[in-house]
């Protein structure tokens, strides 16, 4: 049993934009026009614009499905900044939700929830709500979260959980990982230095070894922190 309570071989409901060369061979499974690589990690001042009708669309590949984990609270807190004063290296996450069965066209008014641990590896529970929040996608399928790079806990690769709810009847849940070289640099900075960081934060986690190629965010510097852009495709 994994932390998320689901097998890493689950194959339904979640498709993600191809973010690495290693998954390019799987793009033929995506319907729609000839595809181009998504804009993950592009250091622009604003999220990348969604494709317009007639334009080439992001490549989409089947990814590993993950459960919500024991820490998910359905709070419906619609907000972009989820830090609530929690210390850590700033991190901006720009997401675009697209529907693969419709040629990877943007999904409007989808609720996107994210939640993750703080720098000490703790989640908000009970009456606390730090590092949890919801965005509703705009007309281009986009939503932005401002948070911090999560800490590590329980021998698992640091991660951000996310859930996409395009309507009241369906939802898709998975998690993002971080490049290990960036984590090593982050964990050498306060407040993460209050604990002794693992030498290899990702390599010890079998879930990362199984899904990291498709689920790892491409981080780029952004002021004193980082940012990443990712396109999430749903069925």
Tokens 């290899």 identify what position?
Answer: 200
Task: Give per-residue pLDDT as tens, 58-81.
Answer: 455 544 567 676 677 777 789 999
pTM of the model: 0.75
Span 101-150, pLDDT tens digits:
888 899 999 999 999 999 999 999 988 999 999 999 999 999 999 999 99
Name residue 143's beta-bridge partners. 95
The sign of the CA dihedral 154, 214, 235, 58 is positive
Distance CA 148, CA 219 (A): 13
**Tokens 């990690």, residue?**
41
Mean pLDDT, rounded, of the chain: 78
Pair of tokens at residue 183 = 């984590």
Mapped onto helix, strand or coil, the DSSP state of residue 89 is coil
Give the burial class of 235: count Cβ atoms within 10 A of its Cβ; 0-12 exposed, 13-18 middle, 19 or more buried. middle
Q: Are 113 and 145 in contact (CB under 8 A)?
A: no
How many CA atoms within 13 Å lie on the side-chain side of 75? 22
CA-angle at 99, arms to 232 and 163, nearest 5°: 45
Query: Among the CATH numbers 3.90.170.10, 2.60.130.10, 1.10.3720.10, 3.40.50.2300, which is that of 14-43+55-234?
Result: 2.60.130.10
């Amino acid at each position: 049993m994994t932390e998320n309570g689901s097998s890493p071989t689950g194959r339904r409901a979640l498709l993600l934009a191809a973010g690495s060369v290693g998954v390019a061979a799987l793009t033929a499974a995506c319907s729609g026009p000839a595809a181009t690589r998504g804009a993950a990690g592009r250091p622009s001042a604003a999220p990348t614009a969604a494709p317009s009708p007639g334009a080439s669309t992001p490549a989409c590949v089947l990814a590993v499905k993950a459960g919500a984990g024991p820490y998910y609270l359905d709070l419906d807190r619609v907000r972009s900044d989820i830090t609530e004063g929690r210390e850590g290296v700033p991190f901006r996450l720009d997401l675009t939700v697209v529907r693969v069965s419709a040629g990877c066209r943007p999904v409007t008014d989808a609720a996107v929830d994210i939640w993750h641990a703080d720098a000490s590896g703790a989640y908000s529970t009970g009456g606390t709500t730090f590092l949890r929040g919801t965005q509703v996608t705009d007309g281009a399928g986009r939503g932005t979260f401002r948070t911090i790079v999560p800490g590590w806990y329980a021998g698992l690769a640091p991660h951000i959980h996310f859930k996409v709810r395009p309507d009241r009847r369906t939802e898709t849940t998975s998690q993002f990982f971080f490049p290990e070289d960036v984590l090593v640099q982050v964990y050498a900075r306060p407040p993460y230095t209050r604990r002794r960081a693992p030498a290899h934060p990702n390599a010890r986690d079998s879930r990362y070894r199984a899904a990291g190629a498709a689920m790892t965010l491409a981080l780029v510097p952004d002021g004193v922190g980082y940012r990443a852009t990712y396109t999430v495709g749903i069925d």
